[in-house]
Amino acid sequence: MGSFSIEGGHQLKGSIQPQGAKNEALQILCAVLLTPNTVTIHNIPDIIDVNKLIQLLKNLGVEVKKVKSGTYAFTSNNIDLDYLESADFKEDGKGLRGSIMIVGPLLARFGKGFIPKPGGDKIGRRRLDTHFQGFIKLGASFRYNREEHFYGVESKQLQGTYMLLDEASVTGTANIVMAAVLAKGTTTIYNAACEPYLQQLCNMLNRMGANIQGIGSNLLTIEGVTSLKGTEHTILPDMIEIGSWIGLAAMTKSELTIKNVRWEYLGQIPEVFRKLGITLEKREDDIYIPAHTNGYEIQNYIDGSILTVSDAPWPGFTPDLLSIILVIATQARGSVLIHQKMFESRLFFVDKLIDMGAKIILCDPHRASVIGHDFKSNLKAMTMVSPDIRAGISLLIAALSASGTSTIHNIEQIDRGYERIDERLRAIGAKITRAL
């Protein structure tokens, strides 16, 4: 189990380029299974979760060529369907939550898809019902092996239909869309997720020959086609990483420029940080954050009541950034209520922040009230363990602002979502070392 040693209390300075979006990459990579032709993808982040999925595709028989750093060409003209029922696959698929999204493309193109119960992190339950209910509505038969926790769907020919999703699941919508593009007839998906990453997937599928209408809305209409061709695609910068760097700059009173952020896809993110008192400047397609030498003050509502920051499906605020918001609130002037609606275990890392000296009241598994220090007392360094990706990066930001040297164990969780994070932080002046 690897560790980071972090000497806190240093101001950082410089510019940083966000990596490709992890959550988009997982969807886009699964979509290469929909065509026997070559699909070239740019800006793929070099992180554990994505690399695991690329390896899974290789094991399935996808030909993978590395063109250059971050760019790969995928050709799925020789898929080994027997691998799907092998013991190796049952083991390989478990370690990665994103592996669920191979089911839709496989079902659409080959008439069957299997997946073991996916693993991933410990942020709470993430149901798979939406995925499989969608496949069943398209005419697939579903089976579940309870002993082996193994799911399977099969169909000779998927048939387009109307469906109202029980929740606006991003991965669920992506999976159903990938199945529906090759179904016979018209599929209408209401209460579809409309995140930028899903818009990217739909646009890419349309370039491959699919016919998807309503992109960016919660009502998608998909006219099925008989086959798809190859294409090229560039993955968006990771909005969660962009939010992490904003939080880092504020907490360490650092002057930072975040390069090439694709502002049009950031949604509410800049505004929520501004509500916490953080100054952000739009400079062409960059975000410039000046050094907050006098700290930052949380805005109250117009009637004077305490600010609440909560997550919601897009275009609401992404749940992945609530951990970051919570950390930076610990040094703000004022108070804020953090309401994590979607995942019931995501706030459990706050006990570590409390141990570091933060003033946080964990009201219940979903809500935490934070009273900011206004930098009058620094967080103190300590040894801690990262429970999941986003809590890990939040603890890392806390450690970089704390007095003394902190140690974070289980950094594999951070590596799952952040590319070469220690190298990139050292480049802007952070004192961080990795120990295996």
Q: What does the block give as tokens for 120? A: 């991933």
Backbone φ, ψ for residue 191 (5° rounding): 65, 35
Q: SS3 of 336, please?
A: strand
Is the CA virtual torsion 305, 365, 370, 277 positive or negative? Answer: negative
CATH class of 22-234: alpha beta
Query: What's the whole-number mean pLDDT along residues 327-351?
Result: 91
Per-residue model confidence as pLDDT tens digits over 34-72 = 999 999 999 999 998 899 999 999 999 999 999 999 999
Same CATH fold, 22-234 and 3-19+237-435? Answer: yes
Residues 31, 51: Cα–Cα separation, whole Å: 16
Q: Hey, what are 405's tokens?
A: 């040297």
Residue 121 has pLDDT above 50, yes or no: no
Domain segments of the chain as ranges: 3-19+237-435, 22-234
Structure tokens at 10: 């240093």
For CA atoms 76, 81, 83, 87, the dihedral sign is: positive
What would the DSSP string read from start to end of 119-131?
---SS-----HHH
265 in Cβ contact with 318 (< 8 Å): no
d(CA 384, CA 387): 9
- What is the percentage of the chain residues whose pLDDT exceeds 90? 82
Single-letter amino acid, residue 71: T
Residue 246 pLDDT more than 80?
A: yes
pLDDT for 138-188, tens place per residue?
999 988 877 767 888 999 999 999 999 999 999 999 999 999 999 999 999
Q: pLDDT at residue 214 above 90? A: yes
Which residues form the catalytic set?
Answer: 121
End-to-end distance of the chain based on CA atoms, in angstroms? 6
Alpha helices in 37-195, H assignment, sequence order: 48-60, 87-94, 103-110, 129-137, 170-180
The CATH class given to the 3-19+237-435 domain equals alpha beta
How far apart, in whole angstroms, are the C-alpha atoms of residue 163 and residue 350? Answer: 39
Tokens of 217: 């809305």
